Chain A
């Protein structure tokens, strides 16, 4: 039984001071070559897929809005386009950008991800994300959201707003999935005898009507090669578990202990039951932030690097996910233990880039391979297939 390994790319790495790592490339974070090199390294390590973070806000040490700091990475590129830029310079790895379900038009997301699936010949995924910040909403000026604090999530204050954001996200995913199916695979017929380029019987209005928006369809982009690109979501609580169960193919979870792996998995499976999920169960991944020890070379250990970065930043690093420091062998032990408890795979968040990505591909991957727990070569070129998910039948073709 082998594990699935994904890596989450974000700026110079997940530690806010990661750009000050001597091996980082902070002046190149907005250049294509930087991202192409990271993707090439990930592909060399035979990783399943890469995810790309995004938001309609500058990074901040505060939950609820900008902090004015200048000593951390600030600025982002559009994640769908970063992924697309890598289409022609990669050949196997999956590319999974993040977009907002709160502010981005579902129609644009559907055609964007479908287009990414076309440019990569079936390697696209999508991570829908809600944007709850009032300051993000002011960038669009079309709606207002209340200021929500971290504590509000614990206390349940604004629970109605949170539920609303996730319901809207589920509607957005439904629209996107319908649009992907709105062209049947064989809609383009090029029938010279009748002069018809498409068979209009194989194109479908989606006629989505929800409380927040309606979308008529069909898509302007033919059905993606995968049929339905892979949908993934990060979840920490009941509402997002249910959103994942309703809408996603893969869910990223954040257990901190082996016991939590078991208990969170049970919650996810219960959410699948409550939402009446049909088809394949969610593929479950755990997220971990990793600072790895150097393999053969000399250099600071993962924990020493974390301490150095913490000192530079002025604050100890905290994360929603477990922060792992140690050797590749120790990490392999942990991953296989958690895998044995029912996880399908892991999304590793490199503490610093490219250093911790290189440690994953050159140290962790061989360690897992030696234990027979990771592929020795890419077999599938299509992302869904790599995760053992079938190519979905078209909902409209079946109904016709």
Chain B
């Protein structure tokens, strides 16, 4: 038998890839939308359902960015509610390690794991910007260089807290009168970012440790994933890049005493289906146009160029303006934090070479559609991808709430199951079991 594919579903996010203008686009907030997507994913035998997080509304040119879907409920709260509406699906929460303290983080994640009978995952993210920090008493600023040291130490501390209770600590023995074995929860952690001690008050999670997800792509991010994560949420969906990334990250595991299978690599992908290849391509193009409205195209250029483009026609040519390398006009959005001048140069070349308008340029340059075709073709490509060690599976990012996964699960999942690359039904109970992960290594010594 070939390699088994792991699938996950990303709730449509707060950015322009989520199409809110479609007549079928439902609420991004109503719990019913989350239930629909989660149940669809569970019907498709997905490993987990993934919620992102952002702790400050995005801004453009000093004002709240109003073109994209924005606003969402809190990940862990929604996932705890979904634990009551699903039975097997893993529940993955993105939670910031900068604006949460380990004691509270550890018990909230442990609680989700208890309440879902072992289906919880934590996507560890870090923020370093003062912009987000303005919403928190902790205050904002963490030097960017400390992002990973803080994230690593937060994760290490959280693991120590989970390990502070024995797996068999709860006795509940009426006869002997012993509810719990002695000395549970005692911890002491002294480090660069945290100096805490006392008694942790939530019993060890059913999975030992909830599944750890990491999304960083830098050298440090890859190393962090190799040493500490169970799943890496990758951005590399182009086959060659994906294979190189896969090989690179998997090769790093041995030095931490881990096997290649201990870390699953799941790129974020999109799927557009059609009865024919042409129909699929037409639908894909229509989705791209919906994702990049005229005002969105202009806002994108402004984000990259770091300056005001008001008054320019999005359906006209890219004006001859140089990017402003300064602070930029966009806040709270990771994609505008990189080397904007270099991106602007590439984009201008693309526009000039192809004779693209502003909107066409943004459609072209930010295109993220991965699999476009008939269900048969898409199933074949996805399977080939996994068999060819470009990934261990995929995180599907639908463009529509709440029906964005329906077609995939109705039309592609049966084909993947026929091929034997996707499970016919769940065989395990916990998310670790779905992912084929080993018991967690225990972190630190008890205090």
Contact = CB atoms under 8 A, between A and B. Distances in A.
Decide if A and B are genuine partners.
yes
Contact of A188 (B55, B71, B82): B71
Nearest to A66: B199
A253 B342 CA distance: 64
A87 B81 contact: yes
Contacts of A197: 20, 66-70
Contacts of B293: 195
A157 interface: no
B80 A141 contact: no
Contacts of A142: 101, 138
Contact of A26 (B83, B116, B174, B196): B174
Interface stretch (B179-187, B230-238, B320-328, B434-442): B179-187
A207 to B, nearest CB: 10
A104 B81 contact: no
A139 B135 contact: no
B316 interface: no
Contacts of B81: 84-85, 87-88, 116, 119
Nearest to A222: B71
A307 interface: no
Interface stretch (B56-64, B367-375, B413-421): B56-64
A88 B35 contact: yes
Nearest to A25: B172
Nearest to B203: A75
B114 interface: yes
Given A77-B202, A85-B83, A89-B84, A116 B179 contact: no
Contacts of A57: 198-199, 201
A28 B106 CA distance: 20
A56 B201 contact: yes
A84 B77 contact: yes
Contact of A103 (B77, B80, B104, B294): B104
Interface in A182-237: 183, 187-188, 190, 192, 194-200, 203, 212-222
B144 interface: no
B154 to A, nearest CB: 13
B77 A30 contact: no
A192 B21 contact: yes
Interface in B49-99: 54-57, 63-64, 66-74, 76-78, 80-85, 99
Given A56-B201, A58-B201, A74-B184, A220 B107 contact: no
A284 to B, nearest CB: 29
Interface in B120-137: 134-137
B137 A212 contact: yes
A70 B180 contact: yes
Interface residues of A, number: 82
Interface residues of B, number: 77
A55 B71 CA distance: 29
A9 B89 CA distance: 28
Contacts of A196: 66-67, 295
Contacts of B57: 203, 218, 220
A173 to B, nearest CB: 14
A82 interface: yes
A80 B109 CA distance: 12
B195 A141 contact: yes
A199 B67 CA distance: 9
Contacts of A74: 179-180, 184-185, 201
28 contacts: A20-B177, A22-B174, A30-B203, A57-B199, A74-B179, A75-B170, A75-B201, A77-B114, A82-B111, A85-B81, A87-B80, A88-B31, A88-B82, A89-B84, A103-B101, A105-B136, A105-B138, A108-B99, A111-B74, A198-B64, A198-B71, A200-B64, A203-B57, A203-B64, A214-B137, A215-B137, A220-B56, A312-B177
Q: Which 8 A-B pairs have the closest CB atoms?
A: A213-B137, A115-B73, A26-B172, A84-B80, A216-B134, A195-B295, A115-B77, A88-B84
Given A80-B77, A107-B136, A116-B81, 9 more contacts: A58-B199, A66-B198, A70-B182, A81-B80, A82-B80, A85-B83, A105-B137, A135-B198, A220-B55
